[in-house]
Amino acid sequence: MRHVTLVIKTTQACNAACIYCSSWKEDYTEINMSEETLRALHVRLAEYAQEGDLEDVLFTWHGGEPLLMDNSFYYRALDLQEELLKPLGIKVGNIMQSNLLSLNEKKAEMLVKLLHFHDGQPSSVGTSFDPIPGIRVMKHGDYERRFREAVSVAQEYGIALGLVYTVHKYSVDRVKEIYDFLTSEFPDMTIRFNPLYHEGRALLPEGERYYITPREWGRFIVELHEIWDADDKKHTIEPFAALWDFHQGTGYSLDCEHSGSCSEHHLGIGTDGTVYCCCRGVDLARRPYGNLNSEKLASILMSPYRVQLHNRSIYLRMTVCRDCKWWRYCHGGCPVESDISYGDLFHPTSWCEGWERYFDTIFGSPREETPGSS
Amino acid sequence: MTDGLTRIVHTPPSAHLIDILPPGVVLYGADGAALTQALRYWSRKVIGVDFMGPLSEIPPAEILESVDVVLYAEGEKELIKNFHRLPRRRVLCRIPSGSGLFDSIKLVASLNIVPDLLQNLEEISPEQALDVVRYYLHHRALQVPIEPFHSILSRLVLSQNLDLWEMARYNPDHFVFLDAEGNVGLSYEDLADKRFLGTIHQDPVSWKKSEVYRDLSRFLNELPQTHPECLACPFFFFCRGYMRYKRGECMTLTAVLEELRQASVEIYELRELFADVGQLPAQLEVEEGSRSRTANPQNRDIRDEPV
Tell me whether residues A311 and B232 touch, CB distance under 8 A: yes
Q: So what's the ipTM on this one?
A: 0.85
Banded model confidence at residue A272, pLDDT cuts 50, 70, 90? very high
Tell me whether residues A311 and B221 touch, CB distance under 8 A: no
Say what percent of chain A tops pLDDT 70: 98
Inform me whether the pLDDT recorded for B300 exceeds 90: no
| Per-residue model confidence as pLDDT tens digits over B134-192 | 999 999 889 899 999 999 999 888 888 889 999 999 999 999 999 999 999 999 999 99
pLDDT at B283: 39
pLDDT at B115: 93
Q: Which residue of B has its CA nearest to A319?
A: B221
| Per-residue model confidence as pLDDT tens digits over B234-278 | 999 999 999 999 888 899 999 999 999 999 989 988 887 777 655
Q: Across the interface, which of A302, A346, A372 has its CB nearest the CB of B231? A: A346
The dihedrals phi and psi of A85, each to the nearest 5 degrees, come to: -105, -50
Inform me whether the pLDDT recorded for A297 exceeds 50: yes
pLDDT at A371: 59
Residues 282-311 of A with CB under 8 A from B: 302, 304-305, 307-308, 310-311
Q: Which of B160, B162, B236 is best to mutate for the A interface (most A CBs within 10 A)?
A: B236
A230 and chain B in contact, CB less than 8 A: no
Q: At what angle do helices B149-157 and B126-138 cross, to 10 degrees?
A: 60
A343 and chain B in contact, CB less than 8 A: no
User: Contact A197/A340 with Cβ under 8 angstroms?
Assistant: yes
pLDDT at A28: 66
Q: Which residue of B has its CA nearest to A304?
A: B232
Average pLDDT, chain B: 85
Q: Which of B213, B218, B231, B268 is best to mutate for the A interface (most A CBs within 10 A)?
A: B231
pLDDT at A193: 96
Q: Across the interface, which of A302, A315, A371 has its CB nearest the CB of B231? A: A315
CA distance B296 to chain A (A): 22
Tell me whether residues B224 and A344 touch, CB distance under 8 A: yes
pLDDT at A348: 97
CA distance B63 to chain A (A): 36
pLDDT at B299: 35
pLDDT at B279: 47
pLDDT (mean) for A124-145:
93
Q: Across the interface, which of B221, B233, B237 has its CB nearest the CB of A319? A: B221
Banded model confidence at residue B88, pLDDT cuts 50, 70, 90? confident
Q: How far apart are CA B219 and CA B239, in angstroms?
A: 14
Count of C-beta atoms within a 10 Å radius of residue A270? 23
User: Contact B43/B35 with Cβ under 8 angstroms?
Assistant: no
CA distances from A208 to A20, A27, A170, A195, A343 (A): 10, 21, 12, 14, 18
Q: Across the interface, which of A304, A314, A372 has its CB nearest the CB of B240? A: A314
User: Contact A316/A293 with Cβ under 8 angstroms?
Assistant: no
pLDDT at A30: 64
Size of interface A-B (CB pairs under 8 A): 41
pLDDT at B79: 85
Residues of B in contact with A252 (CB under 8 A): none
Residue A53 vs residue A194, higher pLDDT: A194
Which segment of A116-120, A233-237, B75-79 scores lowest on mean pLDDT? B75-79
A26 and chain B in contact, CB less than 8 A: no
A17 and chain B in contact, CB less than 8 A: no
Banded model confidence at residue B1, pLDDT cuts 50, 70, 90? low
Sheet holding A266-269, edge to edge: A237-238, A190-195, A160-167, A124-128, A91-97, A56-63, A3-11, A266-269, A274-276, A290-291
Tell me whether residues B233 and A307 touch, CB distance under 8 A: yes
Tell me whether residues A311 and B233 touch, CB distance under 8 A: yes
pLDDT at B97: 77
| Per-residue model confidence as pLDDT tens digits over A53-63 | 899 999 999 99
Average pLDDT, chain A: 93
| Per-residue model confidence as pLDDT tens digits over B101-148 | 888 899 899 888 999 999 888 888 999 999 999 999 999 889 899 999
Inform me whether the pLDDT recorded for A214 exceeds 80: yes
Q: How far apart are CA A27 and CA B178, in angstroms?
A: 64
Inform me whether the pLDDT recorded for B298 exceeds 80: no
A373 and chain B in contact, CB less than 8 A: no
Q: How far apart are CA A198 and CA A275, in angstroms?
A: 22
CA distance B137 to chain A (A): 24
Inform me whether the pLDDT recorded for A295 exceeds 90: yes
Q: Which ranges of B142-250 would DSSP assign to H, the alpha helix?
A: 149-157, 164-167, 188-192, 204-207, 211-221, 223-226, 228-231, 236-239, 242-246
CA distance A326 to chain B (A): 19
Inform me whether the pLDDT recorded for A353 exceeds 70: yes
Q: How far apart are CA A244 and CA B64, in angstroms?
A: 51
Tell me whether residues B237 and A314 touch, CB distance under 8 A: yes
Count of C-beta atoms within a 10 Å radius of residue A82? 11
CA distance B71 to chain A (A): 31
pLDDT at A372: 52
Question: Helix or strand or coil: residue A340?
Answer: helix
A198 and chain B in contact, CB less than 8 A: no
pLDDT at A52: 79
Q: Where are the domains of chain B?
A: 1-302
pLDDT at B60: 94
Residues of A in contact with B220 (CB under 8 A): 318-319
Banded model confidence at residue A29, pLDDT cuts 50, 70, 90? low
Count of C-beta atoms within a 10 Å radius of residue B44? 8
pLDDT at B303: 31
Residues of A in contact with B217 (CB under 8 A): 319
Tell me whether residues A315 and B224 touch, CB distance under 8 A: yes
CA distance B26 to chain A (A): 26
Inform me whether the pLDDT recorded for A298 exceeds 50: yes
User: Contact B91/B69 with Cβ under 8 angstroms?
Assistant: yes
| Per-residue model confidence as pLDDT tens digits over B196-245 | 999 999 999 999 999 999 999 999 999 999 999 999 999 999 999 999 99
Inform me whether the pLDDT recorded for A115 exceeds 80: yes
Tell me whether residues B232 and A304 touch, CB distance under 8 A: yes
